[in-house]
A = this chain, B = another copy of it.
């Protein structure tokens, strides 16, 4: 039986997951692939830190370039993460005619074009299934499974940390800061949680999904981004009363030849499949013109699910290698590079949605009339409202609007903020009903 040597860059949590999988499922991999995958080296700058998953000492090295330059290693797994030299490392691997598996969404979102072009030039592949939704094979689904479809919309719960925090908040477990601290103690949120809770990580993943689904290279700056830090327990209570759940969604929609691209907290119908995606799980809802709505669900992160995606990628690259071929002529996105799609990104002010608004107002007659009057000046009409006078000085008003543009809503919010009866800040959350 043939043996294919694997060079692993990064002996962290995910790297250990990959080692564990290659050890535990070695026989299964042989049975499926008809060849052995053999770990030929593991590079990490810190080799002394204690690890859960052990590997023979002779395989360890501090120098990743030793593996990248080793002519006996045809496949490289990059799990180095957010390290400044990682782009050069991958470029070196590609130039040495090695195909690369990576889970590095931030890198791909920022430098994907350059890396994919180099892979194309060298006739090798970059596979990146683990970069979005962990073990859920959403990249394969978009690159192959749904490829006959014009993709019309993608709605993703793609950040497990945020989904865990929102699930906890929806169950009334406390305010954002309290729950974040508990999550950090449990290891579900990082010490510096900004990349997750501010929506950066979800934006990186959305950029990849947009490239695959719509054939549009997109800059991160073109994705509207709003995190979950401003959500309050009162929002979850009010949303539930109106029959909604709150999720951080990464949304891309084809509309009149343009693509909406946005990451923000979103009210979605309670009882919809995405609303039922709880805890650290991820799900991506994809609508194609022929297939209609589809959904893909599973663990979005963690040692084992990520290893599942990485090694499944490795096995596909190993098949190509066994065939003596550089690749399968699969374009790195889902379109031929020579055929870029002429879609533009829709500027956020032109995006149309319905809105949820929550504000604290003076508890006196006529307040609702004043508020609805200001909204009407921007042609925004109210579809539902709950106002609870509590006999105090102020009371909450929660309302849902009919569809309006972001530009109109921004203007309306400025108008409302000028009203003496309305306290700042006004909470504004977008609604998606077609789920």
Contact = CB atoms under 8 A, between A and B. Distances in A.
Interface in A316-359: 316, 319-320, 322-323, 325, 328-331, 334-336, 338-339, 341
B339 A30 contact: yes
Contact of A292 (B129, B296, B305, B312): B305
Interface residues of A, number: 69
Given A34-B336, A150-B28, A329-B319, A144 B312 contact: yes
Interface stretch (A202-210, A283-291, A374-382, A393-401): A283-291
B148 A25 contact: yes
12 contacts: A25-B290, A29-B148, A137-B140, A147-B315, A147-B316, A149-B308, A271-B276, A276-B276, A288-B308, A291-B309, A323-B328, A323-B329
A186 interface: no
Interface in A272-307: 273, 276-277, 283, 288-299, 304-305, 307
Q: Is the interface of A mostly helix, strand, loop or mixed?
A: mixed
Given A140-B144, A290-B304, A319-B328, 16 more contacts: A25-B150, A25-B290, A29-B148, A32-B334, A34-B331, A135-B146, A137-B140, A149-B308, A271-B276, A273-B273, A290-B308, A291-B298, A291-B309, A292-B299, A295-B298, A322-B329
Given A290-B305, A293-B298, A298-B294, A34 B144 contact: no
A292 B32 CA distance: 19
Contacts of A146: 135, 137, 308, 312
Contacts of A322: 329
Interface of A: 17, 21, 24-25, 28-34, 129, 134-137, 140-141, 144-150, 215, 271, 273, 276-277, 283, 288-299, 304-305, 307-312, 314-316, 319-320, 322-323, 325, 328-331, 334-336, 338-339, 341
